[in-house]
Structure 1
């Protein structure tokens, strides 16, 4: 029962934070969406900021998990990047998947300086990890020329924008062809 309640709270928070942002979401809305009492939320999360940080960290852990899987693969940089793009395009077509992408891309300030800074560092590290992959690809002649960090930042920005558009426009938005995303990083 406990895990079921936490899951309901997370799903409600994830949906509302992705659609409205941290500042515009209030704890009563989360309770209503999760169909639980306000007191029950406070039993598990002292504030909406704590729930948000939990979800944002979970989103970053999922993202890092994908990156770790790709790094363990014995394949070309091109294949790794193509697999990442495939996973992204598949993920933004699922309701909770797109919410996680949006949570990762949001600018936030919970008022918990240390936790905010740690989360920001995780986000920055994910760009550095992709930049390292791009640099390896450049050394092997697989990736586009240019500053690896700028290429990685541009790519991440594009994927986050695509996720935002998909959430905003729903079925009216057509995901871009995989080749368009590939051209940002690969030759």
Structure 2
């Protein structure tokens, strides 16, 4: 029998998705959710889907009542989180590349008296990249490749945490997806895959 995900913790077996949709509509009607709806008295825009044309009428009714099946909500959430992962990876790669180039350029010039960094320098970096350092790096010297390697390690950990969250959502999406829509299943995002993606975009720094 299909499994209905009430939330992140509660799951409920239902007879079928059709019966669940009917029950959701009846409950909404009893609560008065269909009263005074926007565009009342006007033609209803029918939701048309290429992947499940037989569900168009039910999906239209739910959409006009402000509802969406759990699998649709999860699908949108997965898409959003994957876009956030891509953005995080691109920003991380650009920042690491620019800092590494800057450090290598400085090492090629005669050594000079290091300028003291403002006390808030590393705090601003952590806020920008959302790091949670246990100990601030020294602020009395310029950033080094060793510092950069530590920051890259934190970036990598964060990326893998995001990947784990997405992969969990994908498994929930598969559980909520109606059987006749199996072709909409998404690829899993394993830790190995995520690690390879990060390392390809942000290679380990050469000492």
Q: Same fold (TM over 0.5)?
A: no
Which of 1 and 2 has greater Rg?
Answer: 2
The structure with the greater share of residues assigned to helix is 1
Relative to the length of structure 1, the TM-score reads 0.30
- Report the TM-score, using the length of structure 2 for normalisation: 0.28
